[in-house]
Amino acid sequence: AEARRQGVEAFILSDAIEGEAREVGGVHAAIAREVATRNRPFQKPVLILSGGETTVTLRAKGKGGRNSEFLLALAIGINRVEGIHAFAADTDGIDDPENNAGAFADRSTVS
């Protein structure tokens, strides 16, 4: 409702997205880049929402969670494109083994 009051259209991609967090983040980055650079499939300004259960397959020792993995992949994928801001959070308030609720990224997150 607040987005609409601010003149921003909101779209829900899905509330049942599944897959590797890294791959899902890359797909979301591609959608965000398309909107930011070509004004499609949604017109700016826009709020794009999604939800679901992603997974992380560990290939080495490490720590982190699905939201962090998703958002890092998204940050790499937006490749410093201006006008994209992303937030990932978990409903239980923690991101797997980490003591955080999620993360925020924009064009300055990865350089």
Tell whether 55 is covered by a domain: no
Amino acid code (one letter) for 92: D
Q: Please write the tens of the pLDDT for every residue from 58-69.
A: 888 877 688 888
Distances, alpha carbon 76 to alpha carbons 43, 69, 70, in Å: 23, 11, 10
Q: What is the pLDDT of residue 96?
A: 63
Q: What is the pLDDT of residue 82?
A: 94
Tell whether 23 is covered by a domain: yes
Tell whether 56 is covered by a domain: no
Tell whether 111 is covered by a domain: no
Tell whether 92 is covered by a domain: yes
Q: What is the pLDDT of residue 85?
A: 96
Q: Please name every residue paired with 12 in a beta bridge, in sequence order, or none if there are none.
A: 49
Domain count, the chain: 1
Q: What is the pLDDT of residue 59?
A: 82
Tell whether 42 is covered by a domain: yes
Q: Please write the tens of the pLDDT for every residue from 73-110.
A: 999 999 889 999 999 987 765 656 667 777 899 999 98
Tell whether 45 is covered by a domain: yes
Query: What is d(CA 67, CA 32) in angstroms, rounded to the nearest whole number?
Result: 17
CATH of the domain at 13: 3.40.1480.10
Question: In angstroms, how far is the first alpha carbon of the chain from the final one?
Answer: 34
Q: Please write the tens of the pLDDT for every residue from 14-71.
A: 999 999 999 999 999 999 999 999 999 999 999 999 999 898 888 888 776 888 889 9
pTM: 0.89
Domain carrying residue 41: 2-49+63-106
Query: What is d(CA 98, CA 107) in angstroms, rounded to the nearest whole number?
Result: 24
